[in-house]
Structure 1
Amino acid sequence: MNKKSIWAAALCAATFLSGCGNSGSGKSETDEYYLLIGSYAPASEEGIKVYSFDQNNGKSEYVSGIKGVSNPSFLTPSADGSRIYSVTEDEGETASLHALTFDREKGTLALLNEERTLGGAPCYVALSPDERYAVTANYLGGSISVFPIRQDGKLSPAHPIVFSGKGADAERQKQPHLHCILFTPDKRYLLASDLGTDRIYSFPLDSTKALLDTAARKDILLPPATGPRHLTPSPNGKHIYLMSELSGQVMVFSYDEARLDTMQTVLADTCHAQGGADIHVSPDGHFVYASCRLQNDGIAIFEVTEDGSLTKVGYQKTGSHPRNFAISPNGNYLLVACRDANAVEIYQRNPETGLLQDTGQRIEMPKPVCLKFVKRQ
């Protein structure tokens, strides 16, 4: 049996043991998750929608939605799924972060409170490892905002950290454009990608200094006009993968003791459309997927070798403007939020080859941009 076959067999065995191979009345409840979808929508509409999602067959069903959050383009759940934090990606003073409760029995959301980000167009939010803080990346504010979280889950006022500088692209890099927050797998550092200055900022975590030791910040410089966008770690924590918006490249970094060392750069966007978007690793760690927009919209597929480097193995075309995408927790499905197609597209994933097959199933809704899974209670 070759290596890929062993991986596939192991995944199938794990799926069977978890109950994911069952069907009908014998199906385990762990097969079903909630899928939360954030979108570009006015506060008068259901900008965040909740669907049930069956990992056994890829089927979904509308459960609920919530109004009152403008442009909830990115959201993140707490580890237990009881709370959701969603940005309001407004450009002006109304740019905010919202705290919501999530009833995992009923599948319903309720607003707790909101606080201003003090930086325009927040487009990403992450929770600190101890979930005592939420941090947003503010695209037009050129900043990140740190929010203490109270014991009841509500947000306290933000403390913004503002950056300066510009990049080589005179049109797209006139100022800092913070785009992603990643807490490192060892829970020691916060990484913030800045599309506007071709930098990744690294901050040590320090609970005595309101989460971040700003005096010990280090800047990781990337090649001019890279435009770093989203970051994701490997399951074993030894590598970090970056999707670049402007260069359309995936960069592979080794990670060890606060060091990010560039191992490889591989092209995902062969059309050079400057629309690189999101990046994720399959749960088994054997494949990396990256979304590309503006031309030949789709998902680039890479196989991970033993040393963490990548080999491109395929490209799956999708609907228009694929932004955020998500892989189901059992690895069977990859869902793509196609903003301009007004649909979430559902693809079945081959665990042996990493390739995708369109199921034809769609979740129709206006301008979906963010997908998050939360386990049902």
Structure 2
Amino acid sequence: MKLVGVCMAAMILAGSSCTGNANRTKTVTGNTDSLYLLVGSYARAQEEGIRVYVFNQETGKGTFRSGLSGISNPSFLTPSADGSRVYAVGEDEGVSSTANALSFDRAKGTLSLINSQPTNGGAPCNITLSPKEDYVLTANYMGGSITVFPLGNRGELLAGDTLTFTGSGPDKERQAQPHLHSVLFTPDNRLLLANDLGTDCIHVFPVNNKKNGNLLNRTEFYDVRLVPGAGPRHTCFAPDGKHAYLITELSGDVIVLSYDEMKLDTIQTIKADTLAARGSADIHISPDGDFVYASNRLKGDGIAIFSVSSEDGTLEKVGYQPTGVHPRNFVITPNGKYLLVACRDTNEIQVFARDAETGLLKDTGEKIEMSKPVCLKFVPME
């Protein structure tokens, strides 16, 4: 199915503000010391491309538990809410690209393959579960598409339906076509946001609650258009669900958006990449909602650190933490004490201690060595 959206401009008004909730609820979860750390990577199918570690979020130390081979380039993962299932992409660029369903034995800390399905869109680089966990969706970078997979009774992937987009951006090399980079449901479960690096759009789909066989309302979808050449990549939401933070790969900005009644409005743009490296990657907010972190690659590799205004959700840059080479996805422990970074080209996961008062990071010297790590996900232990 090919989709052409009617773009609704989101005004880029740096310095303007909107009314926020000054008394935000700060939720800090995680009382269990040890967690499973699941790692996706770039790897050949015969290699253990997905690895499971036990990570102690009090001491900052990780130990290897198990590995799974059989999937080519399992670069990105998403676990189910109860941790019993994990879904992984197979990020091949051509027809061999896949989505994969895995079962996770939390008692043993081992993964096993349930089944695989073709994405019918090259280089799936992101994967997510629907709010009711009855569908899995992939963002297909080279395919310029997203694929929606219904799930069977065992959590297996059924045949997918691929939605292909059209358009391009001003960068003739990196925006010659749509490049879907992430799929994310809003915290209220009412919208799907699909970030398209190639067309500088967020494709917005209302979630269809009617039982007509379609997860997404494809007749009322629309686009939020960003500044040309921005290259939207990943988004995270504040714990209160009222603000979103979008990292743009090409312009290296963090765009702050308010979210209310299914509407996104841009209220601030602030620079994460000051070197014009054009390689910003990932973004996350601390569990208490006080700090936003964004990774940058290609020049001055590291993590930009921002404090969050409790008044309106806007950001102020407070620091920068150098990391290993090519930091991709990173993750913050549920208790907020550590931030772990997947450094693809130095083949390591770095562990940084996080100061809850200042937001600043400190290298603990602890590292998990692994070939080409890309994606980090925590799953509670039983």
Deviations 1:298-328 (A, max 9, x none): 0000000011000000000000000000001
Q: Does 1:53 align with 2:55?
A: yes
Q: What is aligned with 2:14? A: none
Residue range with higher mean Cα deviation, 209-218 or 357-366: 209-218
Q: What is aligned with 2:353? A: 348
How much does 1:152 deviate? 0.6
For residues 116 and 196 of structure 1, the distance between their equivalents in structure 2, rounded to whole angstroms, comes to 22
For residues 233 and 122 of structure 1, the distance between their equivalents in structure 2, rounded to whole angstroms, comes to 22
Kindly report which structure 2 residues correspond to 1:80-99, keeping only aligned pairs within 5 A, or say none: 80-99=82-101
Q: Does 1:284 align with 2:298?
A: no
For residues 231 and 55 of structure 1, the distance between their equivalents in structure 2, rounded to whole angstroms, comes to 24
Q: What is aligned with 2:246? A: 242
Q: State the one-letter code of the partner of 2:239.
A: P
Q: What is aligned with 1:335? A: 340
For residues 195 and 324 of structure 1, the distance between their equivalents in structure 2, rounded to whole angstroms, comes to 17
SS class of match (1:340): helix
- The equivalent position to 2:278 in structure 1, one of 263, 274, 278, is 274
Q: What is aligned with 2:325? A: 320
TM-score, normalised to structure 1's length? 0.93
Structure 1 stretches (4+) deviating beyond 4 angstroms?
none
Kindly report which structure 2 residues correspond to 1:13-28, keeping only aligned pairs within 5 A, or say none: none
For residues 260 and 218 of structure 1, the distance between their equivalents in structure 2, rounded to whole angstroms, comes to 12
Q: Does 1:374 align with 2:371?
A: no
Q: What is aligned with 1:214? A: 218
For residues 157 and 68 of structure 1, the distance between their equivalents in structure 2, rounded to whole angstroms, comes to 20
Q: What is aligned with 1:311? A: 316
Q: State the one-letter code of the partner of 1:43.
A: A
- The equivalent position to 1:156 in structure 2, one of 142, 155, 158, is 158
Structure 1 gaps of 5+ residues are 1-6, 21-29
Q: State the one-letter code of the partner of 1:256.
A: D
For residues 370 and 188 of structure 2, the distance between their equivalents in structure 1, rounded to whole angstroms, comes to 37
Deviations 1:123-153 (A, max 9, x none): 0001000000000000000000000011211
Deviations 1:188-218 (A, max 9, x none): 1100000000000000011434100111011
Q: State the one-letter code of the partner of 1:223.
A: V
Q: State the one-letter code of the partner of 1:337.
A: A
Q: Which has the higher contact order (CA 8 A, sep 6+)?
A: 2
How much does 1:226 deviate? 0.3
Q: What is aligned with 2:3? A: none
For residues 132 and 71 of structure 2, the distance between their equivalents in structure 1, rounded to whole angstroms, comes to 26
Kindly report which structure 2 residues correspond to 1:354-369, keeping only aligned pairs within 5 A, or say none: 354-369=359-374
* Matched pairs, number: 355
Deviations 1:19-56 (A, max 9, x none): x5xxxxxxxxx111000000000010000000000011
For residues 60 and 131 of structure 2, the distance between their equivalents in structure 1, rounded to whole angstroms, comes to 30
For residues 297 and 245 of structure 1, the distance between their equivalents in structure 2, rounded to whole angstroms, comes to 13
Q: Does 1:265 align with 2:283?
A: no
Deviations 1:4-30 (A, max 9, x none): xxx9xx99xx78xx7x5xxxxxxxxx1
Q: What is aligned with 2:123? A: 121
Structure 2 gaps of 5+ residues are 1-22
Q: Does 1:190 align with 2:188?
A: no
SS class of match (2:219): helix
TM-score, normalised to structure 2's length? 0.91
Q: What is aligned with 2:11? A: none
Deviations 1:261-316 (A, max 9, x none): 00100000000100010000000000000000000000000000011000000000
For residues 256 and 354 of structure 2, the distance between their equivalents in structure 1, rounded to whole angstroms, comes to 23
Q: State the one-letter code of the partner of 1:54.
A: N
Of Structure 1 and Structure 2, the greater helix share is in: 1
For residues 38 and 198 of structure 2, the distance between their equivalents in structure 1, rounded to whole angstroms, comes to 29
For residues 59 and 253 of structure 1, the distance between their equivalents in structure 2, rounded to whole angstroms, comes to 35
How much does 1:171 deviate? 1.1
Q: State the one-letter code of the partner of 1:101.
A: S
For residues 264 and 331 of structure 2, the distance between their equivalents in structure 1, rounded to whole angstroms, comes to 25
